[in-house]
Structure 1
Amino acid sequence: MINGTIEALIAITLVGSFVVMASPDRYAAKLATAWSLLPVVGSLYMWANFDGEKNALLADGKLAYQSQEMWLSLGPLPDIQWYVGVDGISLPLIVLTTVLTTLALVSAWTPIDERQAQFFGLVLFLEAGLIGVFTALDFFAWFVFWEAVLVPMYFLIGIWGGPRRKYAAIKMFVYTNVASLVMFIGFAALVFGLGVDSFGLPAVTEASLAADPAAETFFGVNVETLKAAAFFAMFAGFAVKVPVVPVHTWLPDAHVEAPTPVSVLLAGVLLKMGTYALLRFNFTMMPDIANVNAPIIAAFAVVSIIYGAMLALAQSDLKRIVAYSSVSSMGYVILGLVAYTLYGVGGATFQMISHGLISGLMFMAVGVIYNTTHTRMVTDMSGMADKMPYTVGILIAGAFGYMGLPLMSGFAAEFYVFLGSFQASWGSGLVNAQLFTALGMFGIVIVAGYLLFAMQRTLFGDFRLETDYEVGPAPLHDVAPLAALLIMIIALGVAPDIFFEMIKDATGPVADLVNGGGA
């Protein structure tokens, strides 16, 4: 059974990648941007006509745009299928991917002035891989897309990045590849230990949820022990991609060396691969293991929130400040997931979308300032508001969105996460969900501290710049993507049900796997 909608979306993006790579440099930027509008239209069409129900991996879930065909039959080994489809979790991430890619391409018009055809073509190739990650429901196909995303990202950083670009690209590649190997071993052990005859994620989920914990698997290991080992192997693998402290050190280096449009996609979409995978694999397939170890997982989340924010407070490079902010923000996603309540899991998913937009805006605004001043150091400039009023105004609005200003998407996302995690019923005594929630909420205070400090130093006061470059308003094609992102952030803050209704429909059944989903 082939629906064709998702296949067409991936194919159009891939074809566009090759067409742009083959085009002359002088046409590449405009051609890639125009071509990227086709996936945007496709994803918005999917959103407008979405008819899925509940969760794609659970028995009563109804997929939208589903395609399922046998790919490879390997005899006694599990079958490999071409299996794609979307639910209320994956579809908002696809819309985020397509929209943010187009805006990132526009933001690349100014800074990318060499080998443009290859750069813009690789961005479209990256987009195709990301769409595959969020739609694939067979592990083999999903893993192909998961690894394929690393290839263009490595070259985008390694060729067009800053002075230490090769070091940053290799570090990212090594970290994420080792993590993928650990994750792959964990998932393979789970599939073969449970005796599942397919790599389809719904089939593996059903077998895992129905398995008798005391039953023996291979080598006399019982199911509960096997699932625990697989859970922590996959958690470790995905934690690198999120990233979670202490396996976060590759991210600031990658962000600092990457060109701005690549940083936008890295923070806005690639980090969501890790949290999306955690939700699909760990928290949906093995809720019993997640719930038993909830205090440990919540501790990782809170440490990421606080430690990431404290590291951001100590930075003087604007890009590093935003990079460490992403480490902190992803901690909120983990805190919401482990709550296993409707608003916890739903809020974590909504936070993925909100953070994608806000971090994209922040990196893009820092990039526009860098294009003009050729510096990102807080100590090198002040009074930028008088010279670049539109860029600075949008940057300030985005920073307040990061702080959780009401009527912006950051407030809605954090409110849902805190409400859901406060309702969680795990833990006892001092080690309980409410304590971890309170500690996580303290992270907002630190976020406000470092963002306000950085803005006060660079944006206000008398104009001063430690370079010889002329500073003036940014061109329209640099400001327009910032304005578009700000409009979307406000729209999701004012009307979060644009996505949150479908998100709740898909995450509610996950929350119900533990204690009925809480309140």
Structure 2
Amino acid sequence: MLVELLIVFALMAAGLVFLVPDEYAGQFAAVLSLVPVGVSLWMYSVFDGTGNALLEGGQPAFETLANWITLGPYAISWHVGLDGVSMPLVVLTTLLTTLAIVSAWTPIEERESQFYGLVLFMQAALIGVFAALDFLLWFVFWEAVLVPMYFLIGVWGGPRRKYAAIKFFVYTNIASLVLFVGFFTLVFGLGDSISTLGLPAIAQALEAGQLGSVAGFGPGTVKLAAFAALFFGFAVKVPVVPFHTWLPDAHVEAPTPVSVLLAGVLLKMGTYALLRFNFTMLADVARANATLIAIFAVVSVIYGALLALAQQDLKRIVAYSSISSMGYVILGLIAFTPHGVGGATFQMVSHGLISGLMFMAVGVIYNETHTRMIGDMSGMADRMPVTAGVFVAAAFGYMGLPLMSGFAAEVLVFMGAFQSTVIPAAPLFTAIAMFGIVIVAGYLLRAMQKTLFGPFRLETDYDIGRAPLQDVAPLFVLLALVIALGVAPDLFYRMIQDAVFEVTALGLGGGA
């Protein structure tokens, strides 16, 4: 019942924070958010799940299965559990939520109880997305995430917040509709072979070859259509080029703590779902279309990096960086090698930490300067040495500095992709993707040189000084976690490997 405890406590905490006066809401929310952090870390320490939660022989940890409702011929259950893919993402969610709440103490100055309540509500929904093992239950949590994020952008965002919030909602809602249709295409194709919407039952029925025709279309066509619909639905959330245009607007207009959660956790919903649905349930279709998917991945890596290179706004630079980083995840997944799929999953966690750190550092600078434009300031390292030092460390982590989590994740993805027998000309695709690191280094070094170094220059009527402790403390926590995962990747990588090994076997055409 520990998964339920996490979800229910986060919902109760959200309700309590809504009732607290604004002047106490931030501190109260931070204290309450420490409980899910402690519980998730304890769950991680005693984690005993084996295999993949969707495949035969997999035994998720902290599993609960109880009848809920009946939808026509299908039983809908409260079915939750964690394996080596979802456990690290739950820990990431709880940690980033607490750090985002603390980082919001300075910039959020109105409707504070509502802001922090929505953040905690979103935490509950995110945990549900990563833990749910019944499709309808999963879809409820998936959609529930949209509600608080819409208000967090639309109420507390920048000058164009309403446009960004509506664009985010429309894009992701249309994507949800398409993926819903794609999934039920599979359900109808399976016919009487399933009597539940449980993800393990559906994955195992598909693996056993029980998919039939739908509306006169054969099983192969049904699979391909469902794969395309699901891929589109999740690619928008990732986002994959060319479905990415909502992301920069959302990041720029969102308050920085919301950008931390958007880049750190919400984007991982898309890659997590791709792994669960497209690359586990429909691994044979992914294998048959490996070249096309690898092209999507490499284009996202290079195009996202080139877009970042052209930006003047620090938040837009980090936002486009996320598109590039998620391209590495797609490349690792389609490689269908242990290090490829495992490295892609590790990259989800690593990018969540590093992108969160980058956005927080940008937010601290903005709190003091009230600008994010790299042409408006220089020499910030003299006035804000601690923040500047963390920003430099985060940037080098993004570039893949050894002994930081970004290096471990990218090396694993490149090793796995280079060795892939599924991707035609795998070494070529890998080499092109690796060139993205050069572009990353270019735009991050340019941003640091213009904003942090040289003579101090900023047109302002007030003094720029060191940031308060409440702003920089979350930076050091995230930096420590990035270094810890870089020095000891097995903190998560061993359990990840256990959960993805069977997926690679499916991708290579074997059984789980």
Which bin holds the TM-score, normalised by the shorter protein? Answer: over 0.9
Do the aligned residues in 1 keep the contact of 2:335 with 2:423 (CA within 8 Å)?
no
Structure 1: how far apart are the matches of 2:111 and 2:89?
Answer: 30
Q: Using the alignment, how far apart are the partners of 2:216 and 2:257 within structure 1? A: 51
Deviation at 1:512, TM superposition (A): 1.2
Give secondary structure in 2 for the equivalent of 1:512. helix
Q: State the partner residue of 1:199.
A: 197
The count of residues paired between Structure 1 and Structure 2 equals 508
2:389 aligned to which of 376, 380, 393: 393
Q: Does 1:511 align with 2:504?
A: yes
Looking at structure 2, the residues matched to 426 and 497 of structure 1 have their Cα atoms a distance apart, in angstroms, of 26
**Counterpart residue type for residue 116 of structure 1:** E
Equivalent pair of 2:67/2:75 in contact (CA under 8 Å): yes
> Equivalent residue for 1:159?
155
Q: Distance in 1 between matches of 2:13 and 2:108?
A: 19
Query: Residues of 1 paired with 2:485 and 2:214: CA distance?
Result: 48
Q: How does 1:310-459 map to 2 (within 5 A)?
A: 310-428=306-424, 432-459=425-452
Task: Report matched runs for 1:170-189 at 5 Å.
Answer: 170-189=166-185
For residues 212 and 39 of structure 2, the distance between their equivalents in structure 1, rounded to whole angstroms, comes to 47
Which among 491, 496, 499 is matched to residue 498 of structure 1? 491
- Please give the per-residue CA displacement for 1:259-312, whole angstroms capped at 9, x wherever unaligned: 000000000000000000000000000110000000000000000000000000
Q: Deviations over 1:94-121 (max 9, x none)?
A: 0000000000000000000110000000
Counterpart of 2:182, as a letter, is G
Q: Is 2:286–2:507's contact at 8 Å kept on the other side of the alignment?
A: no
CA distance in 2, matches of 1:218, 1:55: 29
The Cα shift of 1:466 comes to 2.5
Report the equivalent of 1:476. Answer: 469
What per-residue deviation string (whole Å, max 9, x for no partner) do you get for residues 320-356 of structure 1? 0000000000000000000000000000000000000
Report what 2:55 is aligned to. Answer: 58
Which residue does 2:146 correspond to in 1? 150
Q: How far 1:216 sits from its partner (Å)?
A: 4.1
Q: Is the 8 A contact 1:372 1:469 kept in 2?
A: no
2:47 counterpart letter in structure 1: F
Q: Is the 8 A contact 1:211 1:223 kept in 2?
A: no
Q: Percent identity of the aligned residues? A: 69
Look up the equivalent residue of 2:180 and give its one-letter code. F
Matched, 1:280 2:276: yes
Q: 1:10: which partner in 2?
A: 7
Contact 1:264 1:363 in 2 (8 A): yes
Q: Report the Cα distance in structure 2 between the residues aligned to 1:186 and 1:79, rounded to whole angstroms.
A: 19
CA offset at residue 219 of structure 1? 2.2
Q: CA deviation at 1:180?
A: 0.3
In 2, Cα distance between equivalents of 1:411 and 1:322: 18
Partner of 2:27: 30
Aligned counterparts of 2:320 and 2:462: Cα–Cα separation in 1: 28
Question: How far apart, CA to CA, are the structure 2 residues paired with 1:515 and 1:102?
Answer: 40
After the TM superposition, which of the residue ranges 52-61 and 505-514 deviates more from structure 2?
A: 505-514
Structure 2 distance, partners of 1:199, 1:353, is 28
Matched, 1:140 2:127: no
User: How many Å separate the matches in 1 of 2:329 and 2:71?
Assistant: 38
Describe the shift of the 1:396–1:79 C-alpha distance in structure 2 as closer, same or farther (beyond 3 A).
same
Q: Deviations over 1:125-147 (max 9, x none)?
A: 01000000000000000000000
Does the 8 A contact of 1:302 with 1:439 survive in 2? yes
The CA RMSD measured in Å over matched residues stands at: 1.0
C-alpha distance in 1, partners of 2:117/2:423?
49
- State how far apart, in whole Å, the 1-side matches of 2:116 and 2:282 are: 40
> Secondary structure, in 3 states, of the residue corresponding to 1:382?
coil
TM-score, normalised via structure 1 length: 0.97
1:29 and 1:219 mapped to 2: Cα distance? 54
Quick check: 2:21–2:113 contact (8 Å CA) kept in 1? yes
**Does the C-alpha gap of structure 1 residues 398 and 427 become closer, same or farther in structure 2, counting only changes over 3 Å?**
closer
Hey, what does 1:103 align to over in structure 2? 99
> How far apart are the structure 2 equivalents of 1:38 and 1:19?
14
Q: 1:510 to 1:381 in 2, by over 3 A?
A: same
**Distance change (3 Å), C-alpha of 1:222 and 1:516:** closer
The residue that corresponds to 2:289 in the other structure is 293
Does the aligned pair in 1 maintain the 2:268–2:348 contact within 8 Å?
Answer: yes
Q: Secondary structure at the match of 1:379?
A: coil
SS at match of 2:64: strand
- In 1: Cα distance, 2:313 partner to 2:257 partner: 17
Distance verdict in 2 for CA 1:81–1:281, change over 3 Å: same
CA distance in 2, matches of 1:148, 1:469: 42
CA contact (8 A) 2:48 2:61 kept: yes
Quick check: 1:460 aligned with 2:460? Answer: no
- What TM-score, normalized by structure 2, do the two folds share? 0.98
Q: CA deviation at 1:393?
A: 0.1
